[in-house]
Amino acid sequence: MKRPPFKKAPPAGASAKSSPTSSRTFTVREPSELLSFLFSQHPGQGRNSVKAMLSRGQVSVGGRTVTAFNHPLKPGDAVEVRKGRPPEAVRFVGLSVLHEDADIIVIRKDAGLLSVATEEERELTAYRQLSDYVKREDPRARIFVLHRLDRDTSGVMMFARSEQVQKKMQDAWKDVVTERTYTALVEGQVREPEGKVESWLKENAAMKMYSSSQPNDGQHAVTHYKLLRSSRLYSLLEIRLETGRKNQIRVHMQDLGHPIAGDKKYGAKTKPIGRLGLHASVLAFVHPTTGERLRFKADVPKSFLSVFKDQEPK
């Protein structure tokens, strides 16, 4: 698929230029975060005024609108600041964009939002919203699935902006993705400070995953966990995936004897926070084009900690 052309940066040595559309384009000289760079280019404007330009969608990097204050800039990037009324902002439901460029889009997904529609589910999804979003700029644009989060799992996930990038990343997923860390609220008091669960996962006729009792019978799955906090009723775990199988964490926590809170399908008996107690906290990977190592974090929902307020950690 042919991508739409991106705005070019001014030639070396140029500081800024005006355009007929009442915009100015600045060339980045050294690594910086976007907000700091904007402050340096607008010394006569107040901090709130500069922040407002970002929040109103008046700033773009490499031809794409960016609203994140801490968006990283590298030498040679073109930062455009538009004047006047900006285009109508896109309103997402259940997600927010953490990062986007010509190859990928990284989002934070809320619990309750489907990643991608299934044959049975035709409702609003993260995929559908992002597809509509990229088509606003170019009707030919598409996005492609790289991985998924369960409907009731919140946190960081990403999509590719071309089929070539999708294939490149999925073919080398174990090498490309350097960290996938989850936070899980599980039932009961986990005693061991850390550990590993390893099994062979299979799916039954009811589309429920389970650990086979026979070695090499199914897909090999390895989950590492570390105890963050515990009480008599619940424990908070940091979970690192060595493999990424369907429902892997949920099955392995059940195998451990500590099912994820709210996960009735895999043995939970309680639902203290009104949702599944699983959150994708960190996603780190090597950028498919630049080779840069990127790391994105979504803070753990406060509800995960609320169950410990009236109980002393052990």
Residue indicated by tokens 């600041």: 81
**Could you confirm whether 263 is annotated as catalytic?**
no
Q: What ranges make up the beta strands (E) of 110-150?
A: 144-145
Exposure of 69 in the CB half-sphere (CA atoms within 13 A): 8
The phi and psi torsions of 232 (rounded to 5 degrees) equal -65, -30
Q: Amino acid identity, residue 40?
A: S
Instruction: Beginning with the edge strand found earlier in the chain, give each strand of the sheet holding 64-65 in spatial order.
Output: 16-18, 23-27, 78-82, 59-61, 64-65
Quickly count: other Cβ atoms within 10 Å of residue 16's Cβ.
14
Q: Whose CA is closest to 296, among 82, 108, 102, 63? A: 108
CA dist 212 → 5, 101, 216, 285, 305 (Å): 51, 41, 9, 31, 33
Q: What ranges make up the beta strands (E) of 161-218?
A: 177-187, 194-203, 209-212
Tokens of 144: 């492609």
Q: For residue 234, what is the enclosing H or E element?
A: strand 234-241
Kindly name the residue from 103, 110, 150, 152 that is annotated as catalytic. 150
| Continuous H helices in the chain | 34-41, 47-55, 126-137, 163-171, 173-176, 248-256, 302-306
Q: Could you list the active site residues?
A: 150
